Amino acid sequence: MPKLIKRDADGQFAAAEDAFIDIREEDGVPAAIPGNGPVILSLARFQEEGDALLSGGRQVGVRIASNEAIEDLAYDLPRLALVALEFPKYRDGRAYTSARLLRERFGYTGEIRAVGDVLREQAGFMVRCGIDAFEVSDGSSPEEWAAATHRYRHVYQRAADSRAPAWKERA
């Protein structure tokens, strides 16, 4: 089980229980959706089955692959329990854009979870783009994650977090 780290409204990082089951394809066959607990679906699966699951009162999150357009989820955002953004490799930076658009363009305030190749070295960038839950793949502890996030006392540009860029600090 990968570890889940969450960042709370005060910016504190802590280990979190993960109540969600991520429904993935197995050998090209969509896995069955068990029980009535919280689930994470792919975008395609959500578009097919999301309405039914939601109206059954279930908590549903959607996983967005790095080549999928976050815009396709725009109208559904208020109904979602979380959005999981996939980093298939840490070098694939598309999810950073998705995260920023979720926060800045669509005003999404729910959980944005980084999944996949989620490494400590990327922690600062992820937090700045508005990601607040991390399914870490390098075994980082919440303390290590927090230290990596706070490595730099200053930032140079505006992003999806509340940090004041250098020019604002100077003003």
Partner 1 sequence: MYRYDEIDREFLADRANEFRLQVGRRLAGEITEDQFKPLRLMNGLYLQLHAYMLRIAVPYGSMDSRQMRALADIARRYDRGYGHFTTRQNIQFNWTKLADAPDMLDALAAVDMHAIQTSGNCIRNTTSDPFAGATAEEVDDPRVWCEVIRQWSTLHPEFSYLPRKFKIAVTAADHDRAAVKVHDIGLILKRGDDGSLGFEVFVGGGQGRTPYVAPSIRKHLPVDQLLSYLEAILRVYNRHGRRDNIYKARIKILVSSLGAEEFTRQVEEEWSKIDVAAANLPDTELARIRAAFAPLPFQALPATSEAFEAAKADPAFARFARNNVRAHKQPGYAVVVVSLKKVGDTPGDASADQMDLVADLAETHSLDDIRVTHEQNLVLPHVKLDAVPTVYAALAAAGLATPNIDLASDIIACPGLDYCALANARAIPVAQDIAARFDDDRADLVGELKIKISGCINACGHHHVGHIGILGVDKKGEEFYQLSLGGSGAEDASLAQILGPAVPANRVADAVDTLVETYLTQRSGEERFLDTFRRVGLAPFKEAVYAEAH
Q: Which residue lies nearer to partner 1 by CB, 24 or 158?
A: 158
Instruction: Give the residues across from 111 on adjacent strands.
Output: 82
Q: Which stretch binds partner 1 (CB under 8 A): 44-52, 75-83, 107-115, 118-126?
A: 118-126
Q: Which residue lies nearer to partner 1 by CB, 49 or 104?
A: 104
Instruction: Give the residues across from 136 on adjacent strands.
Output: 3
For position 154 contacting partner 1 by CB under 8 A, the verdict is yes
- Per the structure block, which two tokens stand in for 71? 């815009």
CA distance 158 to 171: 14
Nearest-approach distance from CB 150 to partner 1, in angstroms:
10
> Total residues at the site for partner 1 (CB under 8 A)?
32
Strand positions, DSSP E, 101-148: 111-116, 133-136
Residue 81 CA to chain centroid, in angstroms?
11
Q: Which stretch binds partner 1 (CB under 8 A): 20-28, 52-60, 73-81, 99-107?
A: 99-107
Q: Which residue lies nearer to partner 1 by CB, 50 or 68?
A: 68
- Distances from the Cα of 91 to the Cα of 43, 65, 118, 119, 156, angstroms: 22, 14, 10, 11, 22
For position 1 contacting partner 1 by CB under 8 A, the verdict is no
For position 106 contacting partner 1 by CB under 8 A, the verdict is no
Q: Which stretch binds partner 1 (CB under 8 A): 3-11, 15-23, 29-37, 145-153?
A: 145-153
Q: Give φ, ψ of 109 to 5 degrees.
A: -115, -5
Pairing assessment for the beta strands 133-136 and 111-116 based on DSSP bridges? parallel
CA distance 123 to 131: 9
Q: Which residue lies nearer to partner 1 by CB, 48 or 72?
A: 72
Report the interface residues with partner 1, using CB under 8 A. 69, 90-94, 96-97, 100, 104-105, 121-122, 124-126, 128-129, 151-159, 166-167, 169-171
